[in-house]
Structure 1
Amino acid sequence: MADFLEILTHGRRLKAQVKELELDELKDVIAKLQKIAEEREAEAEAEEAAQAERLAKIEAIRKQLEEDGISVDELNALEGATPRRKRAPRPPKYQIEVDGEMITWTGQGRTPKAIKEKLDQGHSLEEFLIEQ
């Protein structure tokens, strides 16, 4: 790809590469390149217009805030005013004793190996409920 771009952007190399083309073929290549260039220009103009529209909207909002007596700093302060709270850990719902060690489980997430083994042996989950 780098070689292709090097040929395309270098005048003498490009001339050497297209000397085998017939005039009609050369005009066709030129037309295709021109079409690509026009598409790129249209895309750039559309992007520029979208950016200008975005800036205009931002400016309108800034003016409205200014008219209402609200500063940007106040808006930024609101952003940090309500920090997300971590939820409290769930209390264990099930427990099983294995080799003198109590293994607890909330009922969510992966089932502990000891409880899973007992369930596979035919025990029911209700047997491991923690009584409250």
Structure 2
Amino acid sequence: MKDFLSILTHARRLKAAVKSASVSDLEKAHDQLGLLIEEKKVEEEAAIQEEQEKLAMKASILAQMQEAGLDISDLAEEGTKKVRKRKAGKRAIKYRFTDKSGEEHSWAGVGRAPKVFAELKAQGKLEKYRV
């Protein structure tokens, strides 16, 4: 698109680009470009109209707020309250095992299993240690 516009807006480059084109092809391109220009003008006018409507609505709302004795800061106070999410904390322990040396191992059952519990699972004894 950038190359197209640079050729289209530079007289010598445009002349070189259309050197081999026929007059009828250039007229077709002219008509198409004219249609595109008209569409773009309509779009821009609609955007300007929409912006003017927004500004008028804003002025109307501000006038209503002044009549009611409200200020922008009155609205901002209510809008700034944030709802805090509660942290989940630790998960409940699902498995607990005490080995031969008396060391206690625990696992929530989520994620990769510790070696002790992986071995118990391989032996089929994991459910025996469910809390």
TM-score (structure 2 length as normaliser) = 0.69
In 2 relative to 1, CA 2–77 (structure 1 residues): closer, same or farther, beyond 3 Å?
A: closer
- Report the equivalent of 1:17: 17
1:5 paired residue number: 5
Gaps of 5+ in 2: none
The secondary structure found in structure 1 opposite 2:86 is coil
Q: 1: CA distance between counterparts of 2:27 and 2:15?
A: 14
Specify the alignment match of 1:103 in structure 2: 106
8 Å contact from structure 2 (residues 96, 129) kept in 1 = no
Relative to structure 1, the CA distance from residue 14 to residue 90 in structure 2 (aligned partners, 3 Å threshold; closer, same or farther) is: same
Q: C-alpha root-mean-square deviation of aligned residues, in Å?
A: 3.0
Deviation at 1:63, TM superposition (A): 1.9
User: CA 1:15–1:112 in 2, change beyond 3 Å: closer, same or farther?
Assistant: closer
Name the aligned partner's letter for residue 128 of structure 1. Answer: R
Runs of 5+ unmatched residues, structure 1 = none
Match of 1:46 in 2: 46
Name the structure 2 match of 1:83: 82
Alpha-carbon distance in structure 1 between the residues aligned to 2:98 and 2:44:
69
Question: Is the CA contact (8 Å cut-off) linking 2:65 and 2:71 kept in structure 1?
Answer: yes
Q: Distance in 1 between matches of 2:12 and 2:29?
A: 17
Q: Compared with structure 1, are the counterparts of its residues 98 and 65 closer, same or farther at alpha carbon in structure 2 (3 Å cutoff)?
A: farther
Q: Which amino acid aligns with 1:67?
A: E
Q: Size of the alignment, in residue pairs?
A: 124
Aligned pair in 2 of structure 1 residues 127, 70: CA closer, same or farther (>3 Å)? farther
- In structure 1, the residue corresponding to 2:70 is in which secondary structure? coil
